[in-house]
Amino acid sequence: MIDDNRMRDEVLNRMVRDELVQQASLEMGLRVSDGMVQATLLGMDAFQKNGVFDQTAFERAARQQGLSPAGMMERIRSFLLAQQLPQAIGAGTFVTAYELAESQRLTNQKRELSYFVVPAANYLADGGVSDDQVRGYYETNQADFIAQERVKLDYILLNAAIAGTTVEVNDESLRGYYNSNQEKFGLPEQRRASHILVLVPEDADEAAVKAAKTKIDELVSRLAQGEDFATLAKAESQDPGSATNGGDLGYFSKGVMDPAFETATFSQALDEVGEPVRSSFGFHLIKVTGIKKSEVKPFESAKPEVENAYRKSEGERLYYEMAEKLANLSYDDPDSLESAAQALGLKVEQSDWITRENSAAPLASPKVRNAAFSEDVLQAHHNSELIEVDNDTSVVLRVIEHEDEMVRPLEEVKAQIVETLRLQNAEAQAKAEAEKRLQAISTGSPLLQVAADFAVTGPLVVGRNDRQLPFELTGELFRTEKPAEGASTPGMVKLANGDFAVYVLSAVMQGEADEKGAKLQTANLRRQMERGLYEEVVADLKSQADIEILLKKSKE
């Protein structure tokens, strides 16, 4: 169902667009401050638990995408930078009263119709398709019945995880790994903090900084006089993400918060409110409300985790050594993979049929398909060379079955052809019947009379987005010419199931202004304009850019 080449082109075009916008944004002097990144991070629902930022959720999300926490923050920075250009373009768009009125007139337009359906199923016959017709269709449409050249493979797959399964483990080796890597089997120290923030940008002038400092000092005095920290945070903190929760930021470990904020938090005692700290956001008063000390699981509790980590570590170490041995062994015995598999403790797997264009995981790489259909492997029946699918996965393969491209025999596809011809004949007859009745309506006969034994629906008033009619009928109805006063316009359309609908458009009611929907429609029109203008900007950037595509489009 997926066109690999089309998807490849779409991804490539998206990469080019993203790079053009990124470069243009930087050339325009657009930037994203650390404060914006931090504010976005703290406000993202994906990283929150019980309404506050959750360090564990953040780190888990980063790991799932193969990123460090710092890498995730850089990704957020790139995303924010990419948004600035379209936002700037969108800020200059507006919708006039005339444009809104015309849009509402057309969008809210309604049309009245009556219709009946001529079902193709009425003309399906059990017989009526001759052998000559089947053979004629087969010979005329042989391209539809081509079975692609295909092969089945034996293969040995090797990656770090598989290499790790060959490692022998015992308590001594596991304890040695555990003792050397205890930081992997516990949690780093985490602290829970609440804060009160007085915003002041990093590049603020002296007057703004002084005013913010005066404000934070005033809050220090109020706390000293006995006011509750959480109550004061709700009333005075300028951090919208935490103020409603009394300034609570939840638990976090080092490496996420602003450096100045983090240093202060991890140096304070429990329940202590420290001196005001200036970060990239502004001035903070910080209260440490919880401390989770770093801890390591006992060996027995962590043993399954230790074994997995040990096998992973050893697998990563062994992978390249085993890959080299696999390459040599499969070359030394080019007529079988069994000896190589036995020597390395690996398994020979068997694939399903694959073609030159399609193969399923773990053999989905074009490199695998090219090797499978190479002369040495396909014609000489040798093992392939070691194929590096990616940085830590390799495969060696050999062909065990091969079928050339061929036209499937007539007998194999006869039933399919008979059904196709039956449907085509039924649709042709249904169309002819619908056209005959449409002609009668066009010459003045009433639709109800012309429909005869076909059930009539209507008169019915529908809007553009109504779902009470078949999609094809609604589309054709709103493309039909508006009838003259007191007249009607007949029409016909083929439906998705092969039936034919015959209809009469009897009235067109222009849409009226909708005050309730005006705001939403204005926003929709603005979005359309923004998209159009943005696409023009990107097209202009592309026309001026020197773009070199390094990705090969030939089969690899």
pLDDT of 357 reads 87
Whether the bond into 334 is cis, omega within 30 of 0: no
Cβ 270 vs Cβ 263: under 8 Å: no
Per-residue pLDDT of 316-354, as tens digits, reads 889 999 999 999 999 999 999 999 999 999 999 999 999
Report whether pLDDT(551) > 70: no
Q: What is the mean pLDDT of the chain?
A: 89
Euclidean distance between CA atoms 412 and 422, whole angstroms: 18
Euclidean distance between CA atoms 239 and 347, whole angstroms: 57
Report whether pLDDT(516) > 80: no
DSSP category for residue 397: E
pLDDT of 1 reads 39
Euclidean distance between CA atoms 472 and 489, whole angstroms: 17
Euclidean distance between CA atoms 87 and 101, whole angstroms: 26
Extended strands (E) in 119-255: 146-147, 150-159, 186-187, 190-199, 248-252
Per-residue pLDDT of 71-81, as tens digits, reads 888 888 888 88
Residue range 4-97+518-544 in CATH 3.20.20.140: no
Euclidean distance between CA atoms 537 and 542, whole angstroms: 9
> Which pLDDT band holds residue 4 (cuts at 50, 70, 90)?
low
Domain 185-296: state its class: alpha beta
Long-range contacts of 89-93 (CB under 8 A, 24+ apart): 89/530, 89/533, 89/534, 89/537, 90/526, 90/530, 90/533, 90/534, 93/526, 93/529, 93/530, 93/533
pLDDT of 438 reads 97
Q: Are strands 186-187 and 190-199 parallel, antiparallel or unpaired?
A: unpaired
Give the domain ranges of the chain. Answer: 4-97+518-544, 110-144+411-509, 149-171+304-403, 185-296
Token pair for 167: 């490692």
Element (H, E) at 457: strand 456-463
Per-residue pLDDT of 24-66, as tens digits, reads 888 888 888 888 888 888 888 888 877 788 888 888 888 878 8
Extended strands (E) in 264-411: 277-278, 282-292, 295-296, 349-350, 354-355, 387-390, 393-403, 406-407
Per-residue pLDDT of 290-318, as tens digits, reads 998 877 778 888 888 889 889 988 888 89
Euclidean distance between CA atoms 145 and 137, whole angstroms: 11
Euclidean distance between CA atoms 351 and 362, whole angstroms: 9
Report whether pLDDT(156) > 50: yes
In 3-state terms, what secondary structure has residue 502? strand
pTM of the model: 0.47
The answer to whether the 4-97+518-544 and 185-296 domains have the same CATH topology is no
